[in-house]
Amino acid sequence: MDAVIPFFEQVNRHFDKAARLTKYPPGLLSQIKECNSVFHAAFPVKRDDGSIEVMHAWRAEHSTHKLPVKGGIRYAPHVSEDEVMALAAMMTYKCALVNVPFGGAKGAVRLDRTLYSDAEIERITRRFTYELVCKNYIGPGIDVPAPDYGTGAREMSWIVDTFTALTKDPLDAAGCVTGKPLPLGGIRGRTEATGRGVFYGVREALKDAVVQKTTGLDAGVEGKTVVVQGLGNVGYYAARFLQDAGARLTALAEREGAIQSDRGLDLEAVIAHRKQTGSILDFPGARNLPATEAALELECDVLVPAALENQITIANADRIRARIIAEAANGPVTADAAERLLARRIVMIPDIFLNSGGVTVSYFEWVKNLSHVRFGRMDKRHEETSNLRILRAVEELTGQRVDAQRLATAVAGAGEAELVDSGLEDTMIAAWAEIGEARARYDSDLRTAAYLISIEKVAQSYVDRGIFP
């Protein structure tokens, strides 16, 4: 049963499958695959009742071929060193694939958020930041965390505030972490970035001739049936953008269970129902499924597992009836299950490509923090003035006047949100094109093609620095 194989080994299986197709020496490939360093911290935290609890936390830096390294911090009850190492490795390959100049890292604190007050979470976050500072595992030019499962903008604000108080160089301190609130140096579009990237990735896959031939689906998101597992930040926005583009959400799954409707589910209505009742179950017009996992086995065009790793294993791979599995989570399909699904001609859009929207926009935020200039601030008005001059010239030539409302829309310059969205879309389109080229060059599946691209880029960085011949 591959579900019991350690997560880091799962990632390395994908790496080894791709590495066999390269011509790089074994020593270089081994250097790329290994995790450079792992920091384990055990620190005391005072609970609200006055008791002391020892917390366990990790930060793994998988590859420093580029600095800083980058990766989220998750708060979850079952995290381990192996999980953090695996996710750090995936960040290395993800950043290389989409041409984001970071190495890969990941962090975690082992806790169940439902058992801690907000004040306790703040104390835990600030103490973990202190531990990272003391061991030189955080800094805008060293290691830059971000939100992950169980964390968000609030935790990032505590991290940057603590780091700023401790650093000897506060000028660029905001760049020590991404996913911050806007007033603390965050960037517009970061919250929905991963989910938006999932949408762009699915859209590009559906345009692909090879994918169309394999699945029998035509181009375009409109009319496609979609099942989404996980309505956290990634799953919610992926579902929203897919639905806005005309897809039909036929099932949604969360921790408490799953609901299904062939006619389609209104995402916002489901979210409102969950806020009111505490559950997506018993949503009007939908049927409850016997278990969350049952949603994975429904017939659909696109299945979006957006929860945690190891959701599709060798145990349920033969019952998957999706034509496309869009891996919005990290490692939702185990290595053995992936081989079984490939044999059944089910297309898997690989996680190291599909969920790279978050780190892409984090890169934009980091650049913004170091440059100390909001995107669009210097050129938005200039762009609007230039557009207006062109339209006025057209009006003079044609004798036709454009009404005020259309004029305002036509000349509008791009602000930060528009520039971030444009940069993300371009990144996803370019990365998909690279994957398609590698797939054809090596006659491989999409995941292997994605890993091949990543390996080649990381390897070349070592060669260019003269570390390996």
Cβ neighbours, 10 Å, residue 30 = 10
- How far, in Å, CA of 190 to CA of 168, rounded? 28
- First-to-last alpha carbon distance for the chain, in angstroms, is 40
Residue 69: phi and psi, rounded to 5, are: -85, 160
Q: List residues bridging with 9 in a β-sheet.
A: none
Do 129 and 138 contact (CB within 8 A), yes or no?
A: yes
Secondary structure of residue 64 in the 3-state scheme: coil
Cβ neighbours, 10 Å, residue 272 = 12
- Structure tokens, 88: 């750090």
- How far, in Å, CA of 2 to CA of 22, rounded? 26
- Residue recorded with tokens 């278990």: 291
- How far, in Å, CA of 387 to CA of 393, rounded? 10
Cβ neighbours, 10 Å, residue 201 = 26
Rg over CA atoms, the chain: 23
Helices (H), 174-217: 193-207, 209-215
Q: List residues bridging with 123 in a β-sheet.
A: none
Do 326 and 355 contact (CB within 8 A), yes or no?
A: no
Do 199 and 241 contact (CB within 8 A), yes or no?
A: yes
- How far, in Å, CA of 253 to CA of 85, rounded? 28
Exposed/middle/buried for 438, CB within 10 Å: 0-12, 13-18, 19+?
buried
- Structure tokens, 388: 């207006």
Please report, as a single letter, which amino acid is at residue 221. Answer: V
Kindly name the residue from 17, 106, 380, 457 that is annotated as catalytic.
Answer: 106
Which CA distances in Å does 342 have to 90, 241, 287, 313, 347? 21, 27, 31, 13, 7
User: CB neighbours of 167 closer than 8 A, spacing ≥ 6?
Assistant: 133, 139, 173, 176
In the residue annotation, 106 being an active-site residue is answered as yes
Which CA distances in Å does 432 have to 139, 202, 205, 438? 31, 10, 8, 10
Secondary structure of residue 25 in the 3-state scheme: coil
Active-site residue numbers?
A: 106
